[in-house]
Amino acid sequence: MAWALTATFIKTATETLTTFGISGMLTRWPVYALVAAVITGTLLNQSALHAGPLSASQPLLAILNPLASIILSIWLFDERFTHAVALAWAISHDPVVVIPGASTISQLEANAAAADITLTEDEHQALAAAASQVVPPPGQASPGSAAGHSRQAG
């Protein structure tokens, strides 16, 4: 839970930094809460790892930390964690045709919900940056490349 709280403070401190700059960040609480959370998280994590066998504590930490992060980000920041966001981004790229799979009614409804999502410019840029980091399997073209569609001069 402490690492999830640390992630929350990282996001808040980063938003404070981008809004107020370095001097403004140092005069506001998120950066100090971040420092306290990191120290507390480190101490609690080490205590948990030393409390018993690693085979007991490590799986619990590996499950609870991401789960707590997701809960906090939804609760505090109204984050969306659905494939519909990625689908909405893909749909926005004309002339790309997206054919999502669905084997249940709920999956079909979730896919249809992507049409109602309007992404901000920042969200578009963040998703484009993430997509540019995708490494294709050997022998395949990277997303957006013209491989397979080019002709050799002859």
pLDDT digits (tens, 9 = 90+) for 34-53: 999 899 988 988 888 888 78
Q: Across all residues in the chain, what is the average pLDDT?
A: 78
Q: Is the pLDDT confidence value at 153 over 80?
A: no
- Determine the Cα–Cα distance for residues 95 and 128; give it in Å rounded to an integer: 16
Taking the C-alpha atoms of residue 43 and residue 115, their distance in angstroms, rounded to an integer, is 45
Q: Which domain holds residue 15?
A: 2-77
Tokens 């249809």 — which residue?
A: 112
The whole-number average pLDDT for the span 8-36 is 90
Number of folded domains that form the chain? 2
Q: How far apart are CA 7 and CA 14, in angstroms?
A: 11
Same domain as 105, residue 125:
yes
Give domain status of residue 38, yes or no: yes
**Burial class for 6, CB neighbours closer than 10 Å (0-12, 13-18, 19+):** buried
**What pTM was estimated for this model as a whole?**
0.46
